Amino acid sequence: MSNTSENPKPSSSSAKMTLKTSDNELFEVEEAVAMKFCTVKQYFEDEKDSDVAARGSTTVIPLPNVHSAVLATLISYGKKLPQSNAVADNHEEEETKKKERKKYEQGLLKNLMPGELLDLISAANYLDFKEGLEFFNQALADHIQNKSVEYVRKFFGIKNDYEPHEEEKYREEYAWAFEGVDED
Amino acid sequence: MEQAVVDNDVGVGVETDRLSELQIEVLQHILSFLPTKQVFQSTLLSTTWRHVWTTFPTLKFDSTNKRNLEDVKRIKANFYKFVEKTLRIRHHQSERSQIKNFELMDGLPHSKSMSRVDRWISFVLESDVEELNLDFRYSQIDYILPHAVLFAKSLTALTLYSCKLESTCCGDINLPSLKKLSLSFVYADDQIFRNLVSGCPVIEDMKFGNCRGIKSMKFFGLPKVMAITVTKNDGLERLELALEASNLYYLCIDQGSIPELNLHLLPCKNLKELIIDTPNVTEKWLDEHLSGLPLLENLRLRVCSGLERIKLSSRHHLKSLELWLCKNLVEVMIDTPKLCRLLYFGETAISFSLNALGLLKAEPYGTWDAKKIEFLSKMRNSKVFKLNIIDFKDVIIPKELRETLPSPLYNVKHLKLSYEKPIYKGENPSCCKFLPFPCWRHCLKTVKIDSLKGYTDEELLYKYFSENAKTLEDFQFHVGGIA
């Protein structure tokens, strides 16, 4: 997926853009997918306004907060989303695409380490990639659903800086929130 | 990249706490997928998480005890304490954070508990609430909605279930931002209804279901309204719809026969879906409205006793038509290429003519007779056909008929039988030994049976099909599935 050419040729079928990651890797991405990253979209539109000559083909958009491995996953997820400019499929095609996407999503989450998930969320947030953020945030929520406070602390390396009596006070005063929740 | 940590209790975790470093909006988004109790528990992760909860934009409180724990009284008391504390703390914040979304489901035992709810609602209104959802269906009393709710400037969606609206002495309702209104089992009166219609200038979606006390409903003005639903409101005597140049695209009326019904639908040129159950619908009405409403795609006619004949031609643009229990219906002629869904529930002793349909669902009931077979044969051009039969024995077509009439669906390739308690949905065309066309026994390739409840003998069924369907390739039997 990464392409180290400095001057990508404009494709005849669909416009492509080049994104440069924090570790200096270049990604050539179709405009339709790149536009799902609203930060990129904004940058592109700003560039277009300021410098007509440099429009599209030679613009390299820098993403200093995103590592290449993370961007690769986000681009791959973005490609699987229904494209806004695609021709409307009939019902059957739509169903097959949906199934494919579900399968891809499951595969993606299965092998994902929590650290990687946090990287993806952080990057999706920086890129303002709404669909990606929705998906990965939901994935994280699914993981901690019904898990105890201790579990979540341990899992995400959160240091408990409450005094024991403070914590006890919370548990007592807000007792309802601790009722009937399965402790893992 | 992040170093992984392996912990015996939690498996592979994360070494440094990067979760807490994410923007608060992201953390709140993650928590929004979790139930309120767990969202609150995030407060205990570390002291830096406190403000995630105290500024959390959505508060959903549900006092109903699904797990049926024994100590109901104590749990209820804890619930009230929780809500009270949460709202008070937010109320006294120096920088009050908005409660965007507030939901409360509570069973009020007696009228003294109303004041508590009143207090909560006033806290919530002062926090510029946008979406308010109050559900008192488990209450012993009729909760009277505080007047302040009907003057809330920030409110964009109001959903009420089982409460009472009382007329204010100062009259009008003023909800300048309200887009969605849904009242179910609400007690109101004509004056309040009038005030709602005139007090919600940007309303888009209005729903009145099972409400009492309203005798007359007139929908007029309402420039932005897109969907109106009026169902099963007790005691409604007069219903009028007089919208001009409207954006209305969905209308559902389910009131049975009302003394006075005036629906001026022709100006609603954007109407896309119409569900209606009134004897006013006649062939003329239908023709007028189908021609006059070119964007109408889905039409559901229920118990339209004034309808005797339906004639759809290619100039009509309907995509989906449902006919339910129109008992005086005698003839249906459909010749429109765009129609891809037809649902019919009623007698089949009617003349039916169909042309070019993609999907068909028909539910004729009654015993098999020549008319019904003929009815089925009309369906043969549909790609997917579902026949729902109520009586178990209706699955088998009487022998006499089998011998004298041609098989109605002779080239069916896939047969899907669904068995629901006690309805046995299925389709069993007759055999064709004496007929020119091959019947299902020779064409049937797959059988899928979804069994919901009740007794089905898989062995017997499999035996029957494998013996009779010579070309059977696939037989599947699912228990607990739904067709």
pLDDT digits (tens, 9 = 90+) for B321-340: 888 888 888 777 877 767 77
Give the least confident one: A50-64, B243-257, B381-395, B428-442: B428-442
Amino acid at B269: K
Average pLDDT over residues A165-179: 90
Which residues in chain A are closer than 8 Å to B17, comparing Cβ atoms? 156-159
**Which pLDDT band holds residue B439 (cuts at 50, 70, 90)?**
very low
> What is d(CA B326, CA A58) in angstroms, rounded to the nearest whole number?
67
Which residues in chain B are closer than 8 Å to A153, comparing Cβ atoms? 45-46
Q: What number of other Cβ atoms are within 10 A of residue B223's Cβ?
A: 12
Interface test with A, best of B22, B30, B73 (most A CBs within 10 A): B30
With a pLDDT cut of 90, the percent of chain A lying above it is 24
Average pLDDT over residues A104-118: 86
Q: What pLDDT sits at residue B229?
A: 96
pLDDT digits (tens, 9 = 90+) for B268-300: 989 999 999 887 788 888 888 888 888 888 999
Q: What pLDDT sits at residue B178?
A: 97
Residue A10 has pLDDT above 50, yes or no: no
Strands A16-20 vs A60-62: parallel, antiparallel or unpaired:
parallel
Quick one: residue B283, left, alpha or beta (phi over 0 = left, psi -120 to 50 = alpha)? alpha
* Greater pLDDT, B344 or B58: B58
Q: What pLDDT sits at residue A174?
A: 93
* Greater pLDDT, B362 or B140: B140
Task: Look at residues B156, B130, B158, B154 and name the one whose alpha carbon lies nearest to residue B145.
Answer: B158
Residue B265 has pLDDT above 70, yes or no: yes
Amino acid at B54: T
Q: What pLDDT sits at residue B461?
A: 60
> What is d(CA A10, CA A14) in angstroms, rounded to the nearest whole number?
8
Output DSSP code: residue B30: H
3-state secondary structure of B274: strand
**In chain B, which residue's Cα lies nearest the Cα of A156?**
B14
> What is d(CA B163, CA B147) in angstroms, rounded to the nearest whole number?
13
Most trustworthy range by pLDDT among B107-116, B150-159, B276-285, B298-307 = B150-159
Q: What pLDDT sits at residue B478?
A: 52
Order of strands across the sheet with B216-220? Answer: B216-220, B238-242, B260-263
**Which pLDDT band holds residue A98 (cuts at 50, 70, 90)?**
confident
Q: CB–CB of B17 and A144 under 8 A?
A: no
> What is d(CA A133, CA A151) in angstroms, rounded to the nearest whole number?
23
Q: Using a CB cutoff of 8 Å and minimum separation of 24, what contacts does A35-39 make?
A: A36/A78, A36/A81, A36/A129, A36/A130, A36/A131, A36/A132, A37/A74, A37/A78, A37/A127, A37/A128, A37/A129, A38/A127, A38/A128, A38/A129, A38/A130, A39/A126, A39/A127, A39/A128
Task: Look at residues B192, B250, B254, B253 and name the one whose alpha carbon lies nearest to residue B225.
Answer: B250
Q: CB–CB of A158 and B45 under 8 A?
A: yes
**In chain A, which residue's Cα lies nearest the Cα of B20?**
A158
* Greater pLDDT, B112 or B120: B120
Average pLDDT over residues A90-97: 70
The CA–CA distances, whole Å, from B279 to B217, B241, B283, B330 equal 19, 16, 11, 15
> What is d(CA B7, CA B14) in angstroms, rounded to the nearest whole number?
10
Amino acid at A149: V
What secondary structure does DSSP assign to B103-131, as a single string? EEE----SGGGHHHHHHHHHHHHHTT-SE
* Greater pLDDT, A111 or A130: A130
**Which pLDDT band holds residue B422 (cuts at 50, 70, 90)?**
very low
Residues in a beta bridge with B309:
B331
Q: What pLDDT sits at residue A96?
A: 80
Residue B41 has pLDDT above 80, yes or no: yes
Q: What pLDDT sits at residue A157?
A: 87
pLDDT digits (tens, 9 = 90+) for B350-359: 666 665 455 5
> What is d(CA B219, CA B193) in angstroms, rounded to the nearest whole number?
10
The closest CB to that of B34, out of A125, A141, A175, belongs to A141
Q: What pLDDT sits at residue B253?
A: 93
Q: What pLDDT sits at residue A47?
A: 72
Measure B301 CA to nearest chain A CA, in Å.
Answer: 26
Q: CB–CB of A145 and B4 under 8 A?
A: no
Task: Look at residues B308, B311, B370 and name the one whose alpha carbon lies nearest to residue B336.
Answer: B311
**Which pLDDT band holds residue A18 (cuts at 50, 70, 90)?**
confident
Measure A117 CA to nearest chain B CA, in Å.
Answer: 10
The closest CB to that of A177, out of B23, B41, B67, belongs to B41
Q: What number of other Cβ atoms are within 10 A of residue B258's Cβ?
A: 16
Q: What pLDDT sits at residue B9?
A: 57
Which residues in chain A are closer than 8 Å to B88, comparing Cβ atoms? none
The closest CB to that of A157, out of B13, B41, B43, belongs to B13
Measure B203 CA to nearest chain A CA, in Å.
Answer: 28
3-state secondary structure of B184: strand
Average pLDDT over residues B15-41: 90
* B438, burial (CB in 10 Å: exposed 0-12, middle 13-18, buried 19+): middle
**Which pLDDT band holds residue B432 (cuts at 50, 70, 90)?**
very low
What is the average pLDDT score of chain B?
Answer: 77
Give the least confident one: A27-36, A37-46, A164-173, B326-335: B326-335
Q: What pLDDT sits at residue B37?
A: 92
* Greater pLDDT, B346 or A115: A115
Residues in a beta bridge with B181:
B158, B206
**Which pLDDT band holds residue B241 (cuts at 50, 70, 90)?**
very high
pLDDT digits (tens, 9 = 90+) for B181-207: 999 999 999 999 999 999 999 999 999
The closest CB to that of B46, out of A137, A142, A160, belongs to A160
Q: What pLDDT sits at residue B272?
A: 92
Residue A54 has pLDDT above 70, yes or no: no
Q: CB–CB of A162 and B47 under 8 A?
A: yes
Average pLDDT over residues B140-150: 92
Question: ipTM, 2 decimals?
Answer: 0.84
Task: Look at residues B178, B196, B177 and name the one whose alpha carbon lies nearest to residue B186.
Answer: B196
Q: Which two three-digit tokens encode residue B141?
A: 């009393």
Q: What pLDDT sits at residue B28?
A: 94
Q: Using a CB cutoff of 8 Å and minimum separation of 24, what contacts does B2-7 make?
A: B2/A113, B2/A115, B2/A116, B2/A118, B2/A119, B3/A115, B4/A113, B4/A114, B4/A115, B5/A157, B7/A154, B7/A155
3-state secondary structure of B28: helix
Average pLDDT over residues B415-438: 36
Which residues in chain A are closer than 8 Å to B13, comparing Cβ atoms? 114, 154-157
Give the least confident one: A91-95, A141-145, B8-12, B215-219: B8-12
pLDDT digits (tens, 9 = 90+) for B64-100: 876 666 778 888 889 999 999 999 999 888 888 899 9
Average pLDDT over residues B27-53: 93
Measure B358 CA to nearest chain A CA, in Å.
Answer: 12
Average pLDDT over residues A78-102: 73
Q: CB–CB of A156 and B12 under 8 A?
A: no
> What is d(CA B27, CA B52) in angstroms, rounded to the nearest whole number?
7
Q: Which residues contact B137 (CB under 8 A, 6 or more apart)?
A: B105, B107, B161, B162, B185
**In chain B, which residue's Cα lies nearest the Cα of A68?**
B1
Q: Which two three-digit tokens encode residue B252?
A: 């559902």
User: A62-79 burial, b for 16+ CB within 10 Å, e for fewer?
Assistant: ebeebbbbbbebbbebbe
Contact B137, B106 (CB under 8 A): no
**Which pLDDT band holds residue B474 (cuts at 50, 70, 90)?**
low
Q: What pLDDT sits at residue B401?
A: 47
- Radius of gyration of chain B, Cα coordinates, nearest whole angstrom: 29
Count of alpha carbons within 13 angstroms of residue B59, beta-carbon side: 30
Q: CB–CB of B34 and A144 under 8 A?
A: yes
Which residues in chain B are closer than 8 Å to A160, comparing Cβ atoms? 44-46
What are the start-end ranges of the E strands in B256-413?
260-263, 273-276, 298-302, 309-312, 320-324, 331-334, 341-346, 351-354, 359-364, 384-387
